[in-house]
Protein backbone atom coordinates (compact mmCIF):
# COMPACT_ATOMS: atom_id res chain seq x y z
CA UNK A 1 0.00 0.00 0.00
CA UNK A 2 1.43 3.39 -0.88
CA UNK A 3 1.89 5.80 1.95
CA UNK A 4 3.19 9.25 2.70
CA UNK A 5 5.72 9.97 5.31
CA UNK A 6 5.56 13.24 7.11
CA UNK A 7 8.99 13.96 8.54
CA UNK A 8 7.46 16.27 11.07
CA UNK A 9 9.92 16.95 13.82
CA UNK A 10 7.97 19.47 15.82
CA UNK A 11 4.22 19.11 15.89
CA UNK A 12 3.90 22.51 17.50
CA UNK A 13 6.13 24.24 14.94
CA UNK A 14 3.62 25.55 12.41
CA UNK A 15 0.54 25.59 14.58
CA UNK A 16 1.67 27.20 17.83
CA UNK A 17 0.10 24.67 20.15
CA UNK A 18 0.39 20.98 20.96
CA UNK A 19 -2.42 19.26 19.13
CA UNK A 20 -4.06 15.94 19.94
CA UNK A 21 -4.44 15.28 16.26
CA UNK A 22 -1.91 16.47 13.69
CA UNK A 23 -3.81 19.03 11.55
CA UNK A 24 -1.92 18.20 8.34
CA UNK A 25 -2.56 14.49 8.82
CA UNK A 26 -6.27 15.11 9.50
CA UNK A 27 -6.53 17.34 6.42
CA UNK A 28 -4.74 14.96 4.03
CA UNK A 29 -6.48 11.82 5.29
CA UNK A 30 -9.89 13.56 4.97
CA UNK A 31 -9.07 13.99 1.27
CA UNK A 32 -7.94 10.35 0.97
CA UNK A 33 -11.23 9.14 2.48
CA UNK A 34 -13.29 11.49 0.34
CA UNK A 35 -11.62 10.28 -2.86
CA UNK A 36 -11.62 6.59 -1.87
CA UNK A 37 -7.81 6.31 -1.64
CA UNK A 38 -6.77 3.47 0.66
CA UNK A 39 -3.66 5.41 1.76
CA UNK A 40 -2.27 6.75 5.02
CA UNK A 41 -0.41 9.98 5.80
CA UNK A 42 1.77 9.31 8.81
CA UNK A 43 3.40 11.73 11.21
CA UNK A 44 6.87 10.45 12.04
CA UNK A 45 9.57 12.21 14.03
CA UNK A 46 13.05 11.91 12.55
CA UNK A 47 16.15 13.17 14.35
CA UNK A 48 18.63 15.12 12.18
CA UNK A 49 21.20 12.30 12.29
CA UNK A 50 18.57 9.81 11.10
CA UNK A 51 17.48 11.72 8.01
CA UNK A 52 19.51 9.76 5.43
CA UNK A 53 18.25 6.42 6.78
CA UNK A 54 14.68 7.73 6.90
CA UNK A 55 14.73 8.79 3.23
CA UNK A 56 16.27 5.45 2.21
CA UNK A 57 13.70 3.65 4.37
CA UNK A 58 10.81 5.54 2.76
CA UNK A 59 12.06 4.31 -0.61
CA UNK A 60 12.49 0.74 0.62
CA UNK A 61 8.96 0.72 2.04
CA UNK A 62 7.40 1.93 -1.20
CA UNK A 63 6.30 5.35 0.03
CA UNK A 64 5.19 7.61 -2.81
CA UNK A 65 6.33 10.76 -1.08
CA UNK A 66 6.59 12.76 2.12
CA UNK A 67 6.49 16.25 3.54
CA UNK A 68 9.33 17.53 5.64
CA UNK A 69 9.50 20.48 7.95
CA UNK A 70 11.97 22.24 10.25
CA UNK A 71 14.76 21.17 10.77
CA UNK A 72 14.85 19.05 7.60
CA UNK A 73 13.81 21.44 4.79
CA UNK A 74 17.37 22.24 3.67
CA UNK A 75 19.21 19.15 4.94
CA UNK A 76 16.96 16.76 3.01
CA UNK A 77 18.20 18.11 -0.35
CA UNK A 78 21.48 16.16 -0.20
CA UNK A 79 19.47 12.91 -0.01
CA UNK A 80 17.30 13.62 -3.09
CA UNK A 81 17.83 12.96 -6.82
CA UNK A 82 16.57 16.32 -8.11
CA UNK A 83 14.64 19.52 -7.37
CA UNK A 84 11.70 21.38 -8.86
CA UNK A 85 12.35 24.93 -10.12
CA UNK A 86 11.21 26.94 -7.10
CA UNK A 87 12.72 24.51 -4.55
CA UNK A 88 16.03 24.91 -6.36
CA UNK A 89 15.79 28.73 -6.22
CA UNK A 90 14.75 28.74 -2.54
CA UNK A 91 17.16 25.99 -1.47
CA UNK A 92 14.38 24.46 0.64
CA UNK A 93 12.08 21.47 0.19
CA UNK A 94 8.85 20.73 2.04
CA UNK A 95 7.39 18.08 -0.27
CA UNK A 96 9.18 15.10 -1.81
CA UNK A 97 7.67 13.14 -4.68
CA UNK A 98 8.73 9.83 -6.23
CA UNK A 99 8.92 10.34 -9.99
CA UNK A 100 10.36 7.56 -12.22
CA UNK A 101 11.84 5.96 -9.12
CA UNK A 102 13.67 9.13 -8.17
CA UNK A 103 13.08 11.39 -5.16
CA UNK A 104 12.32 14.91 -6.43
CA UNK A 105 12.10 17.80 -3.94
CA UNK A 106 9.43 20.46 -4.38
CA UNK A 107 8.35 23.43 -2.32
CA UNK A 108 4.57 23.65 -2.12
CA UNK A 109 4.32 26.42 0.53
CA UNK A 110 4.69 29.28 -1.93
CA UNK A 111 2.79 27.42 -4.67
CA UNK A 112 -0.12 26.94 -2.26
CA UNK A 113 -0.05 30.63 -1.44
CA UNK A 114 -0.06 31.65 -5.11
CA UNK A 115 -2.89 29.21 -5.87
CA UNK A 116 -5.07 30.97 -3.27
CA UNK A 117 -3.96 34.40 -4.47
CA UNK A 118 -4.85 33.64 -8.08
CA UNK A 119 -8.45 33.03 -7.04
CA UNK A 120 -8.61 36.74 -6.11
CA UNK A 121 -6.00 38.48 -8.24
CA UNK A 122 -3.52 37.63 -10.99
CA UNK A 123 -0.05 38.45 -9.57
CA UNK A 124 1.24 39.35 -13.06
CA UNK A 125 2.59 42.91 -13.04
CA UNK A 126 1.68 43.46 -9.39
CA UNK A 127 3.53 45.19 -6.53
CA UNK A 128 3.74 43.03 -3.41
CA UNK A 129 4.73 43.96 0.17
CA UNK A 130 5.83 40.98 2.29
CA UNK A 131 6.47 41.18 6.03
CA UNK A 132 9.01 38.48 6.98
CA UNK A 133 12.11 36.94 5.42
CA UNK A 134 12.05 33.46 7.02
CA UNK A 135 10.97 30.21 5.36
CA UNK A 136 7.44 31.40 4.56
CA UNK A 137 8.61 34.82 3.31
CA UNK A 138 11.21 33.18 1.10
CA UNK A 139 8.76 30.63 -0.37
CA UNK A 140 6.06 33.24 -1.03
CA UNK A 141 8.35 35.87 -2.53
CA UNK A 142 10.03 33.42 -4.93
CA UNK A 143 6.72 31.96 -6.04
CA UNK A 144 4.88 35.29 -6.56
CA UNK A 145 7.85 36.47 -8.61
CA UNK A 146 7.80 33.29 -10.72
CA UNK A 147 4.04 33.90 -11.14
CA UNK A 148 4.74 37.33 -12.67
CA UNK A 149 4.82 39.94 -9.85
CA UNK A 150 7.11 42.75 -10.97
CA UNK A 151 7.94 44.47 -7.69
CA UNK A 152 8.52 42.98 -4.24
CA UNK A 153 9.22 44.87 -1.02
CA UNK A 154 10.53 42.74 1.85
CA UNK A 155 9.98 44.30 5.28
CA UNK A 156 11.87 42.46 8.02
CA UNK A 157 13.12 43.01 11.56
CA UNK A 158 16.50 41.36 11.06
CA UNK A 159 18.44 43.35 8.46
CA UNK A 160 20.76 40.47 7.61
CA UNK A 161 17.94 38.04 6.80
CA UNK A 162 16.01 40.66 4.83
CA UNK A 163 19.02 41.70 2.75
CA UNK A 164 19.97 38.07 2.09
CA UNK A 165 16.48 37.31 0.73
CA UNK A 166 16.38 40.43 -1.45
CA UNK A 167 19.81 39.57 -2.90
CA UNK A 168 18.53 36.08 -3.75
CA UNK A 169 15.39 37.48 -5.39
CA UNK A 170 17.28 40.04 -7.45
CA UNK A 171 19.70 37.36 -8.60
CA UNK A 172 17.29 34.51 -9.32
CA UNK A 173 13.81 35.83 -10.24
CA UNK A 174 12.67 38.57 -12.63
CA UNK A 175 10.92 40.87 -10.07
CA UNK A 176 12.63 44.04 -8.79
CA UNK A 177 13.05 43.53 -5.05
CA UNK A 178 13.83 45.99 -2.27
CA UNK A 179 14.52 45.53 1.43
CA UNK A 180 13.04 47.85 4.05
CA UNK A 181 14.22 47.47 7.67
CA UNK A 182 11.15 47.21 9.92
CA UNK A 183 11.26 50.20 12.25
CA UNK A 184 7.96 51.26 13.81
CA UNK A 185 4.63 51.19 11.99
CA UNK A 186 5.24 50.51 8.28
CA UNK A 187 3.14 52.59 5.89
CA UNK A 188 2.07 50.55 2.85
CA UNK A 189 2.94 52.48 -0.36
CA UNK A 190 -0.25 53.66 -2.10
CA UNK A 191 0.30 51.72 -5.34
CA UNK A 192 0.64 48.34 -3.57
CA UNK A 193 -1.62 45.52 -4.82
CA UNK A 194 -0.87 42.67 -2.40
CA UNK A 195 0.18 42.71 1.29
CA UNK A 196 1.36 39.54 3.03
CA UNK A 197 2.16 38.75 6.66
CA UNK A 198 4.76 35.97 6.38
CA UNK A 199 6.01 36.38 9.96
CA UNK A 200 4.91 34.30 12.94
CA UNK A 201 3.26 37.36 14.54
CA UNK A 202 -0.30 36.47 15.59
CA UNK A 203 0.30 32.73 15.98
CA UNK A 204 -1.36 31.11 19.00
CA UNK A 205 -0.91 31.80 21.91
CA UNK A 206 0.17 35.39 21.00
CA UNK A 207 -3.10 36.02 19.23
CA UNK A 208 -3.25 39.72 20.11
CA UNK A 209 0.32 40.46 18.99
CA UNK A 210 0.22 43.41 16.62
CA UNK A 211 1.94 43.57 13.26
CA UNK A 212 3.62 46.98 13.21
CA UNK A 213 1.72 48.36 10.27
CA UNK A 214 -0.13 51.66 9.80
CA UNK A 215 -3.57 50.10 9.18
CA UNK A 216 -4.83 53.40 7.75
CA UNK A 217 -2.62 52.76 4.70
CA UNK A 218 -4.55 49.54 3.91
CA UNK A 219 -7.05 50.40 1.17
CA UNK A 220 -9.95 48.44 -0.30
CA UNK A 221 -8.15 47.81 -3.62
CA UNK A 222 -5.45 45.73 -1.83
CA UNK A 223 -5.49 41.96 -1.29
CA UNK A 224 -4.22 41.16 2.21
CA UNK A 225 -2.95 37.68 3.12
CA UNK A 226 -1.85 36.19 6.43
CA UNK A 227 0.11 32.92 6.70
CA UNK A 228 -0.98 32.29 10.29
CA UNK A 229 -3.21 29.19 10.35
CA UNK A 230 -4.02 29.27 14.07
CA UNK A 231 -6.15 31.25 14.68
CA UNK A 232 -7.26 31.86 11.08
CA UNK A 233 -8.97 35.18 11.96
CA UNK A 234 -5.86 37.07 13.01
CA UNK A 235 -5.87 40.70 14.03
CA UNK A 236 -4.53 41.58 10.54
CA UNK A 237 -7.29 39.56 8.85
CA UNK A 238 -9.93 41.33 10.94
CA UNK A 239 -8.50 44.81 10.38
CA UNK A 240 -8.05 44.30 6.63
CA UNK A 241 -11.61 42.95 6.33
CA UNK A 242 -12.94 46.03 8.16
CA UNK A 243 -11.17 48.24 5.60
CA UNK A 244 -12.80 46.43 2.69
CA UNK A 245 -9.71 44.51 1.50
CA UNK A 246 -10.08 41.06 -0.05
CA UNK A 247 -8.48 38.70 2.49
CA UNK A 248 -6.73 35.30 2.38
CA UNK A 249 -6.21 33.51 5.71
CA UNK A 250 -3.52 31.01 6.68
CA UNK A 251 -5.84 28.01 6.36
CA UNK A 252 -6.15 28.78 2.64
CA UNK A 253 -2.38 28.44 2.16
CA UNK A 254 -2.24 25.28 4.27
CA UNK A 255 -5.08 23.68 2.30
CA UNK A 256 -3.62 24.66 -1.07
CA UNK A 257 -0.14 23.30 -0.32
CA UNK A 258 -1.86 20.06 0.74
CA UNK A 259 -3.90 19.98 -2.49
CA UNK A 260 -0.71 20.34 -4.55
CA UNK A 261 1.09 17.63 -2.53
CA UNK A 262 -1.75 15.13 -2.96
CA UNK A 263 -1.89 15.93 -6.68
CA UNK A 264 1.87 15.30 -6.96
CA UNK A 265 1.66 12.01 -5.06
CA UNK A 266 -1.55 10.51 -6.45
CA UNK A 267 -2.50 12.36 -9.64
CA UNK A 268 -5.89 13.09 -8.05
CA UNK A 269 -7.06 16.72 -7.82
CA UNK A 270 -8.50 16.67 -4.29
CA UNK A 271 -11.50 18.66 -3.06
CA UNK A 272 -10.13 21.65 -1.07
CA UNK A 273 -13.48 22.11 0.72
CA UNK A 274 -13.19 18.71 2.41
CA UNK A 275 -9.64 19.53 3.49
CA UNK A 276 -10.51 22.97 4.86
CA UNK A 277 -13.44 21.50 6.81
CA UNK A 278 -11.02 19.04 8.52
CA UNK A 279 -8.83 21.98 9.61
CA UNK A 280 -11.78 24.09 10.75
CA UNK A 281 -12.91 21.18 12.91
CA UNK A 282 -9.55 21.46 14.71
CA UNK A 283 -8.88 25.24 14.68
CA UNK A 284 -12.37 26.72 14.44
CA UNK A 285 -13.19 29.34 11.81
Nearer to ligand NDP, 135 or 231 (CB): 135
**Min. distance of Cβ 198 from ligand NDP in angstroms?**
6
For the chain, the three-class secondary structure string (H helix, E strand, C coil) is CCEEEEECCCCCCCCCCCCCCCHHHHHHHHHHHHCCCCCEEEEECCCHHHHHHHHHHHHHCCCCEEEECCCCCCHHHHHCCEECHHHHHHCCCCEEEEECCEEEEECHHHHHHHHHHHCCCCCCCCEEEEECCCHHHHHHHHHHHHCCCCEEEEEECCHHHHHHHHHHHHHHCCCEEEEEECCCCECCCCCCCEEEECCCCCCCCCCCCCCCECHHHCCCCCEEEECCCCCCCCHHHHHHHHCCCEEECHHHHHHHHHHHHHHHHHCCCCCHHHHHHHHHHHHCC
Nearer to ligand NDP, 65 or 132 (CB): 132
**Min. distance of Cβ 138 from ligand NDP in angstroms?**
7
User: Could you tell me if 140 and 89 are in contact, meaning their C-beta atoms sit under 8 angstroms apart?
Assistant: no
Nearer to ligand NDP, 10 or 219 (CB): 10
**Min. distance of Cβ 162 from ligand NDP in angstroms?**
7
Nearer to ligand NDP, 32 or 131 (CB): 131
> Annotated catalytic, 126?
no
**Min. distance of Cβ 283 from ligand NDP in angstroms?**
11
- How many degrees, rounded to 5, is the angle at CA 27 between CA 21 and CA 28? 110
**Min. distance of Cβ 59 from ligand NDP in angstroms?**
26
Nearer to ligand NDP, 81 or 185 (CB): 185
Question: Taking CB positions, which residue lies at the least distance from ligand NDP?
Answer: 134
Q: Give the binding site for ligand NDP (CB under 6 A).
A: 14, 109, 132-137, 156-158, 161, 199-201, 203, 227-229, 250, 253-254, 257
* Active-site residue (options: 73, 111, 126, 233): 73
Q: Residues with catalytic annotation? A: 73
Amino acid sequence: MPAELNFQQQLTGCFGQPVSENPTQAMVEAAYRHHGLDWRYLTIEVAPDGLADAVAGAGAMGFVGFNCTIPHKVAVIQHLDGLGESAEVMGAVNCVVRRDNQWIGENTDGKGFVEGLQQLVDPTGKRVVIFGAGGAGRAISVEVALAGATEIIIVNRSVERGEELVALLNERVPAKSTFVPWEGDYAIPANTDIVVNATSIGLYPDVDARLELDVNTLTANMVVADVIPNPPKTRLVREATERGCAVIDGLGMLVNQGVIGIKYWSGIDPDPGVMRKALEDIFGT
